[in-house]
Structure 1
């Protein structure tokens, strides 16, 4: 088999920005010989000129010759009949996967894709696996653990919607719950694409997944049933932060990100935007003035802030609130404001598990219902559990304050009534099919297996939250009036900065750094200088065999230099840089205490100096007549300063 460095890949994509992103993904997994084409016609010419091409990755919707026409043409030519072909598309309906398979595509991958998703698609394609072949082998043999219990493998992603699973996992690991019939194995995935594929291909037993995706999979023969809701409400729509700009003008002509084409987010965004007099749709539709584009939930803030043509997004929490708290976005609306107590994510379980292990499914559903009621009654503790479950590696920078805000918002997520209602799914199906031309109509009575949820909810007791779908157009007009009259005020704005801070002093000013960024505090120790470094870099220290650069904050902030004394100390900070954690030391006059700072105490930085350059300041915390200057550790060190952490020159000089 041709190795990655030797392979020549033809990437066919009409969007220059998307091509750039996809090339970056290809490079990250070792593929560097990449040819580019803007449409199918150019791709054919390039194939004729470059017979060494090993693989074609093509977009579906392109002007001129699209991806479907391209693969049909290639399969009609002897020279390209067996050329590996991956269709990349922002649309993720099963009927399109089947259409692509019939046309001759080896694989279909939904954009935007993560490196591991693309690597898996390339591996399968080069190994000769086909969509048709994978579709034919969907049954999964239930796995029994040595204990005799069912080993239940459940997929989820990093959103609050799936917190009931996180709470159940926590209870099992802490010994508060010991299931009699199953052992729980959770698998966190990067986006909906791999969850959808894993459930369809029988790689997992169950999934916390968007209801419309489960409906679509069921409609195309994937053996599954919806046994429970994961939550009600829980999503938020935001717009790019642009104070003073009218909402409609800010969104018109822009991209609006959604987590999946088959989602409640797509439906409610469509309702809201149409209510504003806009014409939302997908790329290629000339009548549209807002373009829906699919993006992985956790990357939406990055896409919104990094793409000039981005207007907003709708996503499950806590992604939206985190973007607001981080100053990237302003709130548009909560999903529960348009459709009170709507379904969204569901618990979908494969048929073979239900048929062979009904007692395990019943126990799972009952424990999830209990976990949902616990979240509703104990949002503070649930938020702590959620941070660990949803962000175990700290990649989201998720904080308890953000999750607690999401869990306690009156119009936000609800987990104390998880009983599916057939009429709600009928509303979803009708709107998608009749108004948006999406999905496949299914027999909801067969899809919804309510016996487990009805028993669990009856035994657990509690309230029933009826869903109410409001007039979306009237709501949109009124909501925008309110937003534009009051500006961008939001109780979520400072949540990302709320938390515990280590307070220290320089001269007579108090500063704070997030205590989660503090590794330890040490007294002054010998510092070895490093040549050709910025003046503020005092050198490096050898702390228990680890070389750590040390920066004097007085010098960095342009304050008068001070001789070190018995209260001077070095605060060792942990700063994330790309794919690793760097350790940096800062010299401060003295360390005072750890202080719990609430969002209500924090204000933005004024347009004048406060004893530190403005780019280093995250905000100001009021304290009586004084203030704490809160520092942004992520911006505190220059690239040259950070490069010293663990560098060979630093190690040699510290030895």
Structure 2
């Protein structure tokens, strides 16, 4: 049903940064009448003093939890009929059941996207019936070839790169499946992936092992056929805030720490790490918690941490951690494989009905995924090029090939050459989460894991080619922190990785600048420009480029340099930039263009803080020219044009 966008929403969230994000999500789908509350007690005061139509509340909060608030609302004569949406990072099915029994109208798991939240708000206003929802039914789909379609969901992390590699190998004709047609779908977060598996709208998914195990525990008929990778995650600390020194616990205490999902290996290993240095991890609202875990969308972690000194760090799948280091936001504490060598993380889950009906297709898929894993392992450079396109098709992550190649080449990083499922490792995960963290359930792994296909596809896997070793000790955690303290300059070398690559060099007077070649659409000469009234001086107007109207900006004026007359060397560089409303084209006028330069790591230096008459916030770095005193200014052209 459609909901009036003018409804008054009471947003209850103790974390300021998460509340800001959730307000942004609400506004993006048209809800602007929002009242904020910091916890359950504050929410009651707001309910009693404001006209409210619906409550959207976090679960874990100090003073009064979201669950306690829900109970209060349902016992109140005045508010007992009010729609109530519970938003929580605890993505376990048992939590959803508990909330449903207490009278929640709708339940949403963090992190969530705009469409998902809007649907849950609409669901909360829908009148409930006693009829049980019909169980989702699997319906096979067939491609034009007559072969069954295997649609596999994934998200934007390096852990899923073998799926991109397989798609590349199929699209390039190097692999030709006989028993299936492959489709892939990139989803915004783990919640849509889990929902699609439950609703049987996809045949399979690359998904966090604990999420898949929790779905299985509550009746979703899926099977694990293969590990998607081993290792591949990173733990980082915020570069902001107090000086990092001994005793280390002082840096982390009374701060938040981001994880991608409650049902994740990251939650487990971060819990190990902090426990081993004498810090009690947990969620807001729990007793005596030293560091609060907050479930945060992986691609949002660097942005949120950069604006919040009270966030001490995060643990996430690559390349997000290395990219945040490259951007000067974070410093590396360690890789996940240093805590647990060759650990599982994401797995390949397939609908049980599909397996039963099309075992040949599943066997062939398993075989080709193993081959794709070998391809990534043996050709990290090519895999990085494939991965940038597959994981970042809309360029929202700003991935670059050198950075991704570095991630794939790290000997302690992601492993894709041994994907055989090891049930003993899965048992370690479920036992730690359940027994030490009270998260998830214990399932029968013999029923969940189907080894038939991996037994055939993984030639060496059954013998345990890459055995896992868990270092759940204080010694290991302090070793990582001691290394960070001693080698901060060495670790900081990663900050150049995000700037390495090819740049179009251009001139403005006697200064040379560089723009990332990936941003360039084309270069044209000066053409008639139609001016637009009441625009800033730097905005020269618009041009008609083959039927498309494109704004044109004078880069000189944008950088506060003196205006000159255009000549036969002047040109317009047509760029693709990332604006507030998404990607779009814009033209910039420059004095001249020179060449495409390949900027190497050893030629890059950080931008100076002062001394130039342009805003250094717009400068990525300075690039020295080999055997020459000249220096090129590498521009963050998105910032130049949008700020």
Contact 2:455 2:461 in 1 (8 A): no
Which residue pairs with 2:573 in the alignment? Answer: 571
Distance change >3 Å, CA 529–CA 223, structure 1 → 2: closer
Which residue pairs with 1:66 in the alignment? Answer: 65
Distance in 2, matches of 1:45 and 1:616, equals 44
Which residue pairs with 2:639 in the alignment? Answer: 635
Which residue pairs with 2:604 in the alignment? Answer: 602
Distance in 1, matches of 2:460 and 2:642, equals 58
Is the counterpart of residue 625 in structure 1 residue 624 in structure 2? no
TM superposition score normalised by structure 1: 0.89
Contact 1:602 1:620 in 2 (8 A): yes
Matches within 5 A, 1:201-212: 201-212=199-210
SS at match of 1:493: helix
Distance change >3 Å, CA 580–CA 144, structure 1 → 2: closer
Contact 1:256 1:311 in 2 (8 A): yes
SS at match of 1:464: coil
Please say which of residues 505-514 and 324-333 is displaced more in the overlay.
Answer: 505-514
Report the Cα offset of residue 255 of structure 1: 0.8
Please say which of residues 240-249 and 168-177 is displaced more in the overlay.
Answer: 240-249
Report the Cα offset of residue 408 of structure 1: 0.4
Contact 1:326 1:493 in 2 (8 A): yes
Is the counterpart of residue 118 in structure 1 residue 117 in structure 2? yes
Distance in 1, matches of 2:135 and 2:485, equals 54
Contact 2:558 2:640 in 1 (8 A): no
Which residue pairs with 2:30 in the alignment? Answer: 30
Distance change >3 Å, CA 317–CA 5, structure 1 → 2: same
Please say which of residues 122-131 and 436-445 is displaced more in the overlay.
Answer: 122-131
Contact 1:502 1:512 in 2 (8 A): yes
Matches within 5 A, 1:430-509: 430-458=431-459, 464-490=465-491, 491-509=493-511
Distance change >3 Å, CA 219–CA 535, structure 1 → 2: closer
Which residue pairs with 1:331 in the alignment? Answer: 332
Distance change >3 Å, CA 594–CA 272, structure 1 → 2: same
Contact 2:231 2:342 in 1 (8 A): yes
Structure 2 residue corresponding to 1:593, chosen from 577, 586, 595: 595
Please say which of residues 139-148 and 621-630 is displaced more in the overlay.
Answer: 139-148
SS at match of 1:88: strand
Distance in 2, matches of 1:483 and 1:221, equals 44
Q: Deviations over 1:534-557 (max 9, x none)?
A: 555555555445554544444555
Q: Deviations over 1:367-423 (max 9, x none)?
A: 111111111111111111111111111111111111111110110001011001111
Please say which of residues 572-581 and 286-295 is displaced more in the overlay.
Answer: 572-581
Structure 1 residue corresponding to 2:176, chosen from 172, 175, 178: 178
Report the Cα offset of residue 156 of structure 1: 0.8
Which residue pairs with 1:157 in the alignment? Answer: 155
Distance in 2, matches of 1:130 and 1:371, equals 48
Distance in 1, matches of 2:36 and 2:617, equals 39
Distance change >3 Å, CA 505–CA 435, structure 1 → 2: same
Which residue pairs with 1:646 in the alignment? Answer: none
Report the Cα offset of residue 220 of structure 1: 2.1
Distance change >3 Å, CA 475–CA 63, structure 1 → 2: closer
Which residue pairs with 1:102 in the alignment? Answer: 101
Which residue pairs with 1:282 in the alignment? Answer: 283
SS at match of 1:176: coil
Contact 1:620 1:629 in 2 (8 A): yes
Report the Cα offset of residue 498 of structure 1: 1.2
Which residue pairs with 1:191 in the alignment? Answer: 189
Distance in 2, matches of 1:450 and 1:37, equals 49
Distance in 2, matches of 1:79 and 1:508, equals 72
SS at match of 1:480: helix
Contact 1:255 1:290 in 2 (8 A): yes
Contact 2:232 2:414 in 1 (8 A): yes
Contact 1:571 1:585 in 2 (8 A): yes
Distance change >3 Å, CA 482–CA 67, structure 1 → 2: closer
Report the Cα offset of residue 586 of structure 1: 3.4
Contact 1:330 1:488 in 2 (8 A): no
Report the Cα offset of residue 161 of structure 1: 0.5
Distance change >3 Å, CA 363–CA 98, structure 1 → 2: same
Q: Deviations over 1:172-219 (max 9, x none)?
A: 233332322222222211111221222233332211111111122222
Distance in 2, matches of 1:350 and 1:431, equals 27
Contact 1:416 1:462 in 2 (8 A): no
Distance in 2, matches of 1:438 and 1:132, equals 30
Which residue pairs with 1:344 in the alignment? Answer: 345
Is the counterpart of residue 390 in structure 1 residue 420 in structure 2? no
Unaligned runs of 5+ in 2: none
Distance in 2, matches of 1:95 and 1:387, equals 37
SS at match of 2:490: coil
Report the Cα offset of residue 102 of structure 1: 2.0
Distance change >3 Å, CA 185–CA 540, structure 1 → 2: closer
Distance in 2, matches of 1:115 and 1:131, equals 29
TM superposition score normalised by structure 2: 0.91
The alignment covers a number of residue pairs equal to 637
Which residue pairs with 1:649 in the alignment? Answer: none
Which residue pairs with 2:5 in the alignment? Answer: 5
Distance in 2, matches of 1:59 and 1:180, equals 48
Which residue pairs with 1:644 in the alignment? Answer: none
Distance change >3 Å, CA 227–CA 613, structure 1 → 2: same
Which residue pairs with 1:223 in the alignment? Answer: 221
Please say which of residues 406-415 and 588-597 is displaced more in the overlay.
Answer: 588-597
SS at match of 1:572: strand
Report the Cα offset of residue 77 of structure 1: 6.5
Contact 1:85 1:107 in 2 (8 A): yes
Distance in 2, matches of 1:580 and 1:558, equals 26
Contact 2:238 2:309 in 1 (8 A): no
Report the Cα offset of residue 31 of structure 1: 2.5
Q: Deviations over 1:454-479 (max 9, x none)?
A: 11112999982111112442122122
Report the Cα offset of residue 361 of structure 1: 1.3
Contact 1:139 1:352 in 2 (8 A): no
Structure 2 residue corresponding to 1:166, chosen from 164, 167, 181: 164
Structural RMSD (CA): 2.9
Is the counterpart of residue 412 in structure 1 residue 413 in structure 2? yes
Distance in 2, matches of 1:487 and 1:405, equals 18
Please say which of residues 221-230 and 547-556 is displaced more in the overlay.
Answer: 547-556
Distance in 1, matches of 2:46 and 2:485, equals 51
Distance change >3 Å, CA 219–CA 559, structure 1 → 2: closer
Contact 1:107 1:131 in 2 (8 A): no
